[in-house]
Structures are given as C-alpha cells and as structure tokens.
C-alpha cells in the first residue's frame, strides 16, 4: 500500500513520502491536549498556540503536508507549550487536507494515516520536531475472535442507535456498513470521548484482537450510559407529561366553571358574602375571632382545595348557631298550669316541678335550667310530657333519641381533621332549635350503648352538669357553647342501666303506671277524642261508654301506659268508621257488651287471685316494665330429697332470697311450730310460674317465706292476700320499689289484703283513693308478722310424716302417724 | 457524558467538517466509460508528476495510486489557505469482471489521467452484449 517512493532525506525539513515501517524520518509534531487522533479518521482541528501554528506551517511547507499528532499525557498539567517529556511516545501521522486561517487560529481538517513512534526529539523551538518511525500495521491473531468482536461492536452500535431515534437513517447506514474492524474501532475511539488515557490505550494496541477487545469494552460502557440516560429522560418525560396533563385539565375546568358562572370572581364573592354575614351576625368575641381566622384561611385557598369546602361548611355552621338568641319564656304561671292540665291528666308532682321552675325564672331570669329525668314504663307519656312542658313555657322543643347511640362522637362531634366530620347531635339540635334555650329531650337515655370508641354516657356527664355545660365544646365546633339555658329532660324506662354519676346529675321523676280508673280518664279526655278525629269521625258519630273503655283496658290490653289502649280504641274507631262509611248506621254507641263484636274475644286474662290456695303456695306481687302483676310462688316437699330446687327462670338475687327464706325458717323452726328435722328429711322444690318469663329481684323474699312456711306448717296462705318485701336472714322486712304498680295490679286481680314493708307506707299516697279504700293494707317489719298475717290459723293440709333416723330414710312409707302425733 | 458525545456525533455526522471514518489516503474522483473496445477511465489527478502514478490490476479491480507533492512551498512562501489534498492517494475501481488480460494505454494531460483498457475480442463481445441488454 505504501508508495514506491522511498527517499528519506534527513537533511531537508519536509519528510519524503512515508516509509514502510521501520525507516525513521523527521517530522513536525503537533501536541494535542484532551484528544487523540486515530489513523483512518478525518478530524477537524483548531490550532491557536504559536508553537503549534509553527509546527503546522512547517508541515504545510512540506511537499506532502504531513504532520505528527501526539497527545499530551493527561496527568501532565503544564499550562505552557507542551514539552517532549509530557507527550506519549505513540502518535499518529496525519495528512493535512484543508487549512484556512480565521484571525489568529488555523482551522485544519486532517486525515489520520499511520501510527508512528517517536524515537527522539530533534528540535524543541520554535516548534517540536521529532524523529519517528511508522509502526507496522496491526495484525490479526485470531480471525474468528476479531470477527466476533466486530459483530458484537456492531450489535452495540445498533443498540445505541435504538436509543437515539433522532439519528437519520443514512447515518445509520454509514456507521453500520463500516466493515473494516480496524477502521470501525478507530472511528469509535475518535467519537466516544473516552478520555485521553483510554484513547491512547486503543491507539497503542498492537493487534487487531486487542484493539477490538478494548473498543468493545468502551463501547459497551457508553451504550449502558446511553441506555440509562434515555431511561432517566423518559421517566422525566413521563413526569412532565403528567404535570402537563394536570395543567391542561385544570385549564379546562376553569373554562367550564367560567361557562357555568362559577369563575374565580364567584369564589371571591362567596368569601365576601361570608365576611358580610359574619359582620352582621351577633357572635361572642372569641367565636368571631376564630371565624375571622378561618375565613382568612379560606380566602387564601383555591376553590378546588378540599379544605376550602370544609372551612366554608364550618363557617356556615357557626353562622347558623344561635349564640345569643333566646326565646322568651312564658311566665304566666296560670297559663302554664292550664296548658299542662290540658295535655296531661294527673301527674301532679311533675307539673308542680315545672311551675316551680317557671316561678324561679320569673324571679331570677338568669337561673340555671333544671335537668329532669322521667322514668316510667312505655306509653306513660314521658315524651308528650316533654312537649307540653315546652308548650307551657313557650320554648322550642327538640327531641334527641339516644337509643343505640354508642359513639361519643355522635354526641360531641368529630374533629374537623376527619373527612366528612360533622358536629354532634347536641349542637345540631341547638341549630335546629334556632334558639339557645330550647327544651331538649334526651329520649331513652337508659338505652345508650358504649364500646371501644368511647362512652357516650361520659360525654353526657358534661352536657348535663349545670356547672360545666356553659362551656360545652363540640369537637367539630371547637368553640365553647353555652348549654346552661337549655332545659334538658331525659327519659328512661329503667333507672338501672343509667350510670350512677349520670343519674346523680338529674332530678329523677318517676312516672308510675296508670290505674284502670286513670286510664279511663285518660281515654275519655285524650285518647277517644283523638282517635275519633284520626279516623274521620265526629264525636257525635262514636260514643264509647266508660264500662266499654274499662273492659278494653283490662281484657284487651296489658300495660302500664296507654299506648296499647289508644291503639285498640283506634281499631274500634276504624270498625265504626267502616260501618258509617258503608251507610249501615249514622251513630254508634259502644257499650261493654258490644266490644266482642268489634274487637273479638278478649286477649288477656290477668292473673286472677286464686279462689283457694293449697299449702305451699303464696301470692306475690311483681313489677315489670309493663306495670305490675301478681304471681304465685309454689313450693312442694320432696320425700327422700334434699336441699332446695328452684325453677321458673329465677335470677341470682331471687334464688338467694329463696335460700335466705329457707334458712330463716330452718333456724327459727321451733318458733313457727316446725320440726327442724323436716328440713333434713325433705327436699323442697320451689317454682314460680310463668316458667318462661325471667324474674329477678329481692322483693319476692316475703312471698317465698310465706310459701315455705305454709309448706312446712301445713297452714294455707290466705288466697285474698298478696305480699311483697325483701327479707333478711335476721328476719327483717325491707322496703321495695314499684309499690303503686304492684298494688294496682293486685287490686285488678281481686286481692283484698296487701302485705307491705312498713317502710313502703309512704308510697301508698300515690295510690288513688278509691283503690286504697277497697284494700286492707298490712304493713310489716318482721318475717313473723308476715307469717302470722298471711297464713290461716287452721292446719288444713298437715305436713307429711317425718323420718327421724338415717335408717328411716330407707323405709319412707312407714310409721308416719306416731311421728305427727308427737310433733303436735 | 461521553454517551452524549456519541449522540452529538450521530446528529451532526452529515457535517463534513466533523470527524468521520476515512481511509488512510485520499481518493481522487474518476469517470469510467464503456466503449466497444473496452473501458476508458478518467481520473482527476492534477499537479502530479507522471512518475508518481502507479497503476495496477488485480482481477476485476483497477488500482491507481500515487503521490501528489506540493512544489510551490519553500523559503519565504507560506500557506494561507489549503484546499488541495497532497500526499498519497489511492483509487480503486471495481469492474464487473476480470480485467486481468486487458491492455492498458496510459495518457496523462491537462491534469487528467486517462486510461484505455482494451479487452480481448471475445470478452469484449460478451461485455457489449450485456451492455446492450442493460439498455
């Protein structure tokens, strides 16, 4: 490939035509910093240093324009002209193809020709000149390996091109069609910017194998970098695309809002509106401060922000609350009395309590409202009493059912940090009432639940304490609200489930059940007129006699209240309405005899007093939520048995009463004329019908004692006598509750004598006079009085024979007569 | 960083002033004519001493190489602009079939090297037939 011309004139400056390798020649040297020139590549260069320009000019003055390019070692950091020691020994012989001068610099295009090795430096000033020799062509050691490396390199180039879609196709062609491996490797070396160190390594490679190996390594690294770069770039692109998309959507939303007339000016108007309303509203100072703060926060938020609406709702709520609005109480006591009487029959003490309170308010307007708690069976009128209290006082009425509420947050609200937070029921009721002094009825306070989320009863403690509730803080509102003017009325069916601290805060007013006589009055005054009205009748069209109402109350309903009674009267009314609408008649008078026709056969047969009781059975009285009832305690001896068997769904307390009764009788057996051996010889079974109804409580103690005493003595319990009272092991009789209901029930059942604990005598005042007149009431303080009063004197059923010895147990049927004789 | 340089290279590779692969030598332009006798090859080779031109045939390949020297340079003369390429050149021309047996008539004038390749009779026949067929 080299030319035939082989002159090597060492005297003349320009070298002759390049020689085959080995023959040294002198040549000007251009030191290159930061780049390496490879053979077989064409490279543009800019030359500015005077020494370099001198070297180039020396090359240009030669016949062939040849120049040696040698790189400066990268670790040599001299700022001036490069010295020979700073240069590598291997460089490239280049041919200057183009040159132009631009001001003081020379722009060159050079073409790399051969690798050269510098042998010695022959000149340093004004430019470097070296004696060099051309290095032999690279030889191929392993052809297959070179081919494989070449293909790998081409594969890598293809990979790189895949990441660079902007490279035009013709360029791809040029790159991929370079099939000479050496040329390809040198080309890669020149374009990859590997750094002088690596480039020099490639330049100094002496075999094609080595060169290809290095080129492959370096290229692989580059491709990896390109891959990473493109990955990072595409991720960044994705991010940008998302932001772009959001922006576009927001712009569209803005446009839509503008179309709908909800543009930004609307937002401003909303805030301004709220500000105006705040200015007008009569708010306490701290509330105003908080509201202003929230409003200015809201103004800073875009309408799209979720917080914007939270604050808006909150401010709306603050504005709607009656911070300082109170309704004026009606302080005409006579008028209030009239309203109460009009709505409710009897219940004198409740009415008195209301009137007392109104009197206090009249004298001292800033008095705290009382907190009442009505306790009574369903249908006795607790809720309607609350309504009529509100009516009598001229206050707003708000009812709030607590039945099943088991989350403190329901009463006191959620904090606003929660999504969908709402104020509690108390504050919501106040807002609905639109005044800060309504009558607020907390219905079914005994049905409050509690679970791990909190105990609503505990929240009620604050609400119902007049000392604390003037600064009641709802979680949502987060501002104290004065509840002290609210007239709280709680209702409950039972006091038991109400936690003691809560019970303690309320003034408990028990609404006892109604007697038949009271029911008659209530029916005549309220229920019948209302049902007549509801069924589209006129008072002239339907008339129900007192006897008929009493019959309905006793045989068709069983309750302490009047709800069932009203419903039954309603049924009657509908039947009558049907007849009148059908034109069968113009007016109906319902008498006791007609009830069957309208309502069918009687539904309930109250436990009637039994005409005759065998020994061992006593009549007791019980209290239920439905009112009072009588029940029978039955006991019988079990020959050969032992201990006490108790059946009839009796609760723990009642079972203990039974054991106490037996033990008392046992320990005082002689006193009652019983042989103590009876207790050892016979087992006792005690049963209390109806067996399916669970019963509990201490008040049956007296009855059980009477039944057992009767059983052991053989003296029957008087059938006209019913009794109640708790007993102690020392023989005392303690008072019990529910006297009114019990006595009324006993009276209904046809009992004439009632045995009561002496300390319950005060309760008798509640019993209507007419009932009391028909009853003989026997107050007792000790068990022996009970036994004396309840049992007949006559031994009607003599107790069975007694077995005295252990051996006697084995022959139970024998020798009974003499033993009884002995006992007597 | 260097990945970027590769990318940049690919983008601007069409710019002739950038680096690009080349042979070691420069390559003059050439026209090739088909004639009844054989081929005429015209090579743009100005300013070259005929002695510096070498022509070789290897199978179907005609190889023209040589050396262009700049005779103007010397004391007191400086290059201001360089656009003519000097030094060694090489031109390879591939023919459709072997020209091993062709005779070469060499003519160098007006800066152009004209080579007339005369093929043997029967071979030229075939070539003509093929050339006619191509038209």
Inter-chain residue contact B6 with A112, CB threshold 8 Å: no
Q: Which two tokens stand for residue A151?
A: 């293909």
Percent residues over pLDDT 90 in chain A: 5
Poorest-pLDDT segment among A3-7, A163-167, A358-362, A498-502 = A3-7
Q: Is the pLDDT of residue A8 over 50?
A: no
**What does the pLDDT average to over A463-476?**
85
pLDDT bracket for residue A803 (50, 70, 90):
low
What residues of A are in contact with residue B22 (Cβ under 8 Å)? 40-42, 111-112
Poorest-pLDDT segment among A131-135, A453-457, A517-521, B112-116 = A453-457
Q: What is the ipTM of this complex?
A: 0.72
What residues of A are in contact with residue B81 (Cβ under 8 Å)? 99-101
**CA angle at residue A367 from A362 to A372, to 5 degrees?**
100
pLDDT of residue A554: 80
Q: Which two tokens stand for residue A281?
A: 């509203």
pLDDT bracket for residue A520 (50, 70, 90):
confident
C-alpha distances (whole Å) from A700 to each of A460, A668, A723, A756, B21 are: 35, 20, 8, 11, 117
What does the alpha-carbon distance between residue B5 and residue A447 come to, in Å, rounded to a whole number?
81
Is A663 among the residues known to form the active site? Answer: no
Those of residues 26-45 in B touching chain A at CB distance below 8 A are 26
**What does the pLDDT average to over A702-714?**
89
User: What tens digit of pLDDT does each residue of B67-117 get?
Assistant: 888 888 777 888 888 888 888 888 889 888 888 888 888 888 888 999 998
Inter-chain residue contact B22 with A111, CB threshold 8 Å: yes
Is A17 among the residues known to form the active site? Answer: no
Q: Is the pLDDT of residue A180 over 60?
A: yes
pLDDT of residue A28: 92
CA distance A160 to chain B (A): 9
Contacts of A257 (CB under 8 A, 6+ apart): A263, A266
pLDDT of residue A261: 65
Q: Is the pLDDT of residue B17 over 70?
A: no
User: What tens digit of pLDDT does each residue of A211-232 get?
Assistant: 888 888 888 888 888 888 888 8
Q: Which two tokens stand for residue A801?
A: 């024979």
Inter-chain residue contact B54 with A170, CB threshold 8 Å: no
Closest C-alpha among B132, B41, B45, B16 to residue A98: B16
User: What tens digit of pLDDT does each residue of A192-217 get?
Assistant: 778 888 888 888 888 888 888 888 88
Q: Is the pLDDT of residue A809 over 60?
A: no
Inter-chain residue contact A225 with B3, CB threshold 8 Å: yes
Closest C-alpha among A295, A235, A243, A234 to residue A267: A295
Poorest-pLDDT segment among A97-111, A599-613, B86-100 = A599-613
pLDDT of residue B7: 55
Strands (E), A559-639: 588-590, 617-624, 627-639
Closest C-alpha among A58, A49, A57 to residue A79: A49
**What does the pLDDT average to over A109-129?**
89
pLDDT of residue A381: 82
Tell me whether B110 touches chain A (CB under 8 Å): no
Inter-chain residue contact B82 with A64, CB threshold 8 Å: no
Contacts of A57 (CB under 8 A, 6+ apart): B78, B79
Backbone dihedral region for residue A208 (phi beyond 0: left; psi -120 to 50: alpha; all else: beta): alpha
What does the alpha-carbon distance between residue A642 and residue A680 come to, in Å, rounded to a whole number?
7
pLDDT of residue A394: 85
CA distance B118 to chain A (A): 26
CA distance A291 to chain B (A): 58
Inter-chain residue contact A101 with B80, CB threshold 8 Å: yes
Inter-chain residue contact A160 with B74, CB threshold 8 Å: no
What does the alpha-carbon distance between residue B44 and residue B65 come to, in Å, rounded to a whole number?
12
User: What tens digit of pLDDT does each residue of A528-564 get?
Assistant: 888 888 888 888 888 888 888 888 888 888 777 888 8
Q: Is the pLDDT of residue A1 over 60?
A: no
pLDDT of residue A724: 92
Highest mean pLDDT among A176-180, A325-329, A773-777 belongs to: A773-777
Backbone dihedral region for residue A238 (phi beyond 0: left; psi -120 to 50: alpha; all else: beta): alpha
Q: What is the DSSP letter of A553?
A: I
- Which of B24, B26, B54 lies at the smallest CB-CB distance from A39? B24
Active-site residue, from A742, A807, A816, A822: A742
Of the two residues A688 and A798, the one the predictor is more confident about is A688
What residues of B are in contact with residue A182 (Cβ under 8 Å)? none
**What does the pLDDT average to over B26-31?**
88
CA distance A83 to chain B (A): 26
Active-site residue, from A113, A699, A710, A740: A699
What does the alpha-carbon distance between residue A703 and residue A634 come to, in Å, rounded to a whole number?
10
DSSP run (H or E) holding A45: strand A41-47
- Which of B7, B19, B90 lies at the smallest CB-CB distance from A41? B19
């Amino acid at each position: 490939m080299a030319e035939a011309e082989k002159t090597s004139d060492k005297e003349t400056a320009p070298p002759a035509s390049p020689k085959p390798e080995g023959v040294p020649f002198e040549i000007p040297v251009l030191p290159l910093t930061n780049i390496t020139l490879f053979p077989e590549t064409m490279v543009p260069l800019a030359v500015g240093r005077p020494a370099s320009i001198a070297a180039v000019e020396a090359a240009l003055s030669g016949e062939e324009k040849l120049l040696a390019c040698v790189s400066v070692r990268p670790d040599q950091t001299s700022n001036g002209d490069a010295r020979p020691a700073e240069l590598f020994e291997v460089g490239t012989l280049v041919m200057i193809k183009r040159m132009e001068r631009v001001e003081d610099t020379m722009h060159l295009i050079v073409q790399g020709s051969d690798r050269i090795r510098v042998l010695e430096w022959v000149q340093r000033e004004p430019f470097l000149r070296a004696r060099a020799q051309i290095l032999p062509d690279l030889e191929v050691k392993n052809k297959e390996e070179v081919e494989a490396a070449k293909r790998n390199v081409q594969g890598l180039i293809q990979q790189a091109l895949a990441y660079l879609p902007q490279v035009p196709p013709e360029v791809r062609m040029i790159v991929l069609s370079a099939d000479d491996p050496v040329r390809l490797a040198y080309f890669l070396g020149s374009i990859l910017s590997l750094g002088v160190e690596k480039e020099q390594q490639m330049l100094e490679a002496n075999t094609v194998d080595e060169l290809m190996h290095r080129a492959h390594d370096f290229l692989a690294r580059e491709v990896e970098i390109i891959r990473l770069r493109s990955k990072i770039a595409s991720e960044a692109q994705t991010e940008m695309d998302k932001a772009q998309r959001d922006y576009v959507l927001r712009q569209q939303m803005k446009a839509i809002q503008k179309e709908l007339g909800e543009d930004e000016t609307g937002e401003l108007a909303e805030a301004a509106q709220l500000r105006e309303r705040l200015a007008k509203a009569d708010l306490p100072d701290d509330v105003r401060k908080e509201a202003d703060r929230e409003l200015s926060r809201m103004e800073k938020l875009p309408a799209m922000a979720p917080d914007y609406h939270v604050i808006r709702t909150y401010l709306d709520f603050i504005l709607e609350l009656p911070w300082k609005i109170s309704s004026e109480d009606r302080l005409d006591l006579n008028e209030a009395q009239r309203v109460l009487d009009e709505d409710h029959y009897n219940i004198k003490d409740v009415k008195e309590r209301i009137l007392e309170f109104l009197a206090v308010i009249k004298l001292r307007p800033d008095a705290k409202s009382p907190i009442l708690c009505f306790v009574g069976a369903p249908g006795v009128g607790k809720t309607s009493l609350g309504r009529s209290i509100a009516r009598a006082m001229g206050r707003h009425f708000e009812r709030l059912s607590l039945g099943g509420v088991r989350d403190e947050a329901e009463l006191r609200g959620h904090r606003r940090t929660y999504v969908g937070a709402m104020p509690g029921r108390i504050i919501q009721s106040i807002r609905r009432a639109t005044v800060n002094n309504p009558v607020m009825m907390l219905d079914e306070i005994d049905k409050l639940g509690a679970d791990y989320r909190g105990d609503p009863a505990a929240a009620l403690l604050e609400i119902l304490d007049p000392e604390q509730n003037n600064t009641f803080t709802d979680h949502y509102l987060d501002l104290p609200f004065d509840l002290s003017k609210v007239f709280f009325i709680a209702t409950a069916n039972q006091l038991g489930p109400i936690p003691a601290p809560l019970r303690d805060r309320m003034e408990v007013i028990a609404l006892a059940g109604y007697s038949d006589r009271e029911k008659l009055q209530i029916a005549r005054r309220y229920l019948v007129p209302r049902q007549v009205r509801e069924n589209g009748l006129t008072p002239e069209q339907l008339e129900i006699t007192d006897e008929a109402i009493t019959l309905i109350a006793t045989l068709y309903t069983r309750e302490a209240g009047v709800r069932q009674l009203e419903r039954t009267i309603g049924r009657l009314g509908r039947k009558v309405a049907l007849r009148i609408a059908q034109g069968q008649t113009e007016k109906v008078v319902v008498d006791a005899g007609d009830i069957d026709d309208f309502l069918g056969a009687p539904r309930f047969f109250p436990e009637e007093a039994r005409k005759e009781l065998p020994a061992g059975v006593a009549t007791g009285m019980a209290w239920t939520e439905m009112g009072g009832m009588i029940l029978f305690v039955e006991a019988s001896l079990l020959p050969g048995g032992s201990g006490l068997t108790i059946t009839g769904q009796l609760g723990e307390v009642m079972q203990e009463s039974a054991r106490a009764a037996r033990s008392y009788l046992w320990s005082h057996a002689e006193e009652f004329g019983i042989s103590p051996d009876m207790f050892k010889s016979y087992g006792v079974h005690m049963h209390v019908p109806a067996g399916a109804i669970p019963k509990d409580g201490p008040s049956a103690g007296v009855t059980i004692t009477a039944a057992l005493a009767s059983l052991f003595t053989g003296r029957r319990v008087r059938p006209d006598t019913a009794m109640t009272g708790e007993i102690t092991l020392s023989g005392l009789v303690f008072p019990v509750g529910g006297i009114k209901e019990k006595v009324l029930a006993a009276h209904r059942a046809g009992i004439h004598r009632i045995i009561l604990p002496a300390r319950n005598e005060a309760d008798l005042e509640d019993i209507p006079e007419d009932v009391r007149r028909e009853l003989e009431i026997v107050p007792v303080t000790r068990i022996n009085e009970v036994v004396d009063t309840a049992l007949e004197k006559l031994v009607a059923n003599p107790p069975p024979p007694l077995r005295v010895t252990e051996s006697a147990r084995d022959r139970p049927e024998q020798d009974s007569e003499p033993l009884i004789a002995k006992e007597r | 960083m260097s990945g970027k340089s590769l990318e940049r290279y690919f983008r601007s590779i069409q710019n002739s002033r950038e680096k690009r692969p080349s042979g070691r030598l420069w390559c003059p332009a050439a026209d090739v004519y088909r004639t009844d006798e054989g081929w005429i090859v015209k090579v743009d080779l100005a300013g070259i001493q005929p002695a510096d031109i070498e022509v070789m045939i290897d199978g179907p390949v005609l190889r023209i190489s040589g050396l262009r020297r700049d005779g103007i340079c010397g004391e007191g003369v400086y290059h201001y602009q360089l656009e003519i390429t000097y030094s060694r050149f090489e031109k390879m021309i591939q023919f459709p079939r072997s020209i091993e047996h062709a005779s070469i008539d060499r003519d160098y004038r007006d800066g152009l090297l004209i080579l007339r390749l005369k093929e043997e009779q029967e071979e030229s026949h075939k070539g003509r037939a093929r050339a006619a067929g191509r038209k």
